[in-house]
Amino acid sequence: MSAVAPTMSLDRVSELPAISLNDLNEVAALQQRVDRKYIVSEEQLVFMLDALATRLAALEIDDQRSFAYESVYFDTPNLDSYLSAAYRRRNRFKARTRSYLDSKSTMLEVKTRGLRNVTVKSRQEYEFDSRNALVSDSFAFVDSVTGRPGLGAQLAPAVTTEYTRTTLVDLDGIDGIARLTIDANLRCTDWKNDQLRLRGRYVVETKSAGRPSAADRWLWSNEIRPSKISKFGTTLAVLNPALPSNVWHRTINRHFGEAPIADGRY
């Protein structure tokens, strides 16, 4: 699929100090972390960035601060990954290829849930041109991370997401290091080639070692609570109404409530 053109234009992001990818990974890799997601309007986002500007830095690579991402999520024929998320099972997993379209590089990522609901992400490099399928060489990695022998060979593409991402890091030592991602122009396509878009909204995700970040506290103080949204799960629930979706029901009604037009696009 073609990349989504970066269109988010927030003056505050361009005014923040820059941080390189190496420095960001050194101070805030956060491979084991607590994630909180929010869906906000551009006005809310600008207010938040204004309030937190003195403590934030923006990831910058080659003079660019907004980057095109593509993720291909994989599931079994019985949708074991989706159903585990929908029913909030403890030992759930998520497998995807995460591609950075600007640099044409890809990582294979497997997420599992550890103790105290902490997300554990394992990743390895992957061939960019093979990102839409799992190759046999990757099966052992998936099986090892999930502890499920034979799982990798069962996985096939279930949904593809495209969006542009801006990554910020909160360097204030009082609250601990935290990361903040802002996803714009979200477009999702399932295995039937049905598609939806999230228009006029941004998906903001905070990532911290556990303690709520300054961004979380600002959002809560402005009556913006975390949303139960999964680019993987929520997308499949919207595009396939017969699937169980109670965990995302409120988010779907509030932010994905428009009826799709004939070709399945929002």
CATH number at residue 112: 3.20.100.30
* pLDDT tier for residue 4 given thresholds of 50, 70 and 90: very low
For all residues of the chain together, what is the average pLDDT?
86
pTM to 2 decimals?
A: 0.83
Give percent of the chain with pLDDT exceeding 70.
86
- The answer as to whether 152 is a domain residue is yes
pLDDT tens digits, one per residue of 5-19: 334 445 678 889 999
Please give the residue range of the domain that contains residue 182. 11-255
pLDDT tens digits, one per residue of 83-113: 999 998 888 899 999 999 999 999 999 999 7
- The answer as to whether 61 is a domain residue is yes
- The answer as to whether 50 is a domain residue is yes
Q: Is residue 30 over pLDDT 80?
A: no
Q: Is residue 184 over pLDDT 70?
A: yes
Q: How far apart are CA 148 and CA 138, in angstroms?
A: 14
Residue in 241, 222, 177, 230 with CA at minimum distance from that of residue 203: 230
- The answer as to whether 37 is a domain residue is yes
Q: For residue 68, list its beta bridge partners.
A: 164
One-letter amino acid for residue 169 of the chain:
V
Lowest mean pLDDT of 22-26, 69-73, 131-135, 178-182, name the range.
22-26
- The answer as to whether 98 is a domain residue is yes
Q: How far apart are CA 264 and CA 266, in angstroms?
A: 7
- The answer as to whether 263 is a domain residue is no
Q: What is the pLDDT of residue 156?
A: 97
- The answer as to whether 5 is a domain residue is no
- The answer as to whether 264 is a domain residue is no
Tokens linked to 5: 């053109």
Q: How many structural domains is the chain composed of?
A: 1
**Residue 20 neighbours by CB distance under 10 Å:** 12
